[in-house]
C-alpha cells in the first residue's frame, strides 16, 4: 500500500492485487473485539453496575451496527477501489481514513484479545489461532500506512 497522491481533502493509495484482497478480507472481520471485553469498571464499584453495563453494551452494539453499515457502503462504492493495471487505486477522504483506522484498530485489538493478549508473538501458532495473529499483524500494517499518510510522512 503506497500513498500516490495527497491533498488537503483526499488520500490516494496504490494497492497491489494481494494487498487489496487482504484489506477487503480484513475489513470483513469487523467488529472483532468481543463484547464482553468492554466493562465499566474492573473493580465493580459502580452504582447500578448491571443497568449501566447494559446501557454501555447497547450503545456499543448500536455504534458497531452503524460502523458495519458505513463499512459496507464504503466497500460497495465502485469508485472507492478504481482498478489499475497492477492492482487498485484506493481513494479516501481524511475523515474516512481516520474512521478506517478505528475499524482496523478494532480488528487488531480484537485479534489480540482473542489470542489471549500476548506480550510477544505467540509461540504456539496453530491453524486455529494463526488467522488471528495474521489479522492482528495485517491490521497493524494498514494502520501504519494510513497513519504515515495522515501525518504526511510518505
Select the more confidently predicted residue: 41 or 4: 4
How is 65-112 classified by DSSP, letter by letter?
Answer: HHHHHHHHHHHH-TTTEEEETTEEEEEEEHHHHHHHHHHHHHHHHHHH
8-state DSSP, 127: H
- Model confidence pLDDT, tens digit, residues 31-41: 998 776 555 66
- Model confidence pLDDT, tens digit, residues 12-31: 999 999 999 999 999 999 99
CA Rg value for the chain: 18
Task: Cell numbers for 106, please give them.
Answer: 478494532
**Strand pairing of 87-93 and 81-84?**
antiparallel
Count of beta carbons in the 10 Å neighbourhood of residue 111: 24
Question: What pTM was computed for the model?
Answer: 0.86
Amino acid at each position: 500500500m503506497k500513498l500516490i497522491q495527497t491533498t488537503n481533502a483526499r488520500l490516494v493509495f496504490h494497492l497491489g492485487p494481494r494487498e487489496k484482497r487482504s484489506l477487503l478480507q480484513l475489513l470483513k472481520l469487523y467488529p472483532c473485539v468481543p463484547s464482553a471485553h468492554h466493562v465499566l469498571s474492573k473493580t465493580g464499584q459502580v452504582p447500578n453496575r448491571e443497568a449501566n453495563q447494559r446501557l454501555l453494551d447497547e450503545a456499543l452494539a448500536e455504534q458497531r451496527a452503524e460502523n458495519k453499515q458505513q463499512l459496507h457502503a464504503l466497500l460497495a462504492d465502485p469508485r472507492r477501489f478504481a482498478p489499475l493495471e497492477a492492482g487498485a487505486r484506493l481513494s479516501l477522504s481524511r475523515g474516512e481514513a481516520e474512521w478506517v483506522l478505528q475499524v482496523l484498530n478494532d480488528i487488531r485489538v480484537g485479534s489480540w484479545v482473542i489470542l489471549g493478549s500476548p506480550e510477544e508473538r505467540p509461540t504456539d501458532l496453530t491453524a486455529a489461532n494463526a488467522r488471528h495473529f495474521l489479522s492482528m499483524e495485517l491490521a497493524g500494517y494498514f494502520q501504519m500506512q494510513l497513519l504515515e499518510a495522515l501525518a504526511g510522512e510518505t
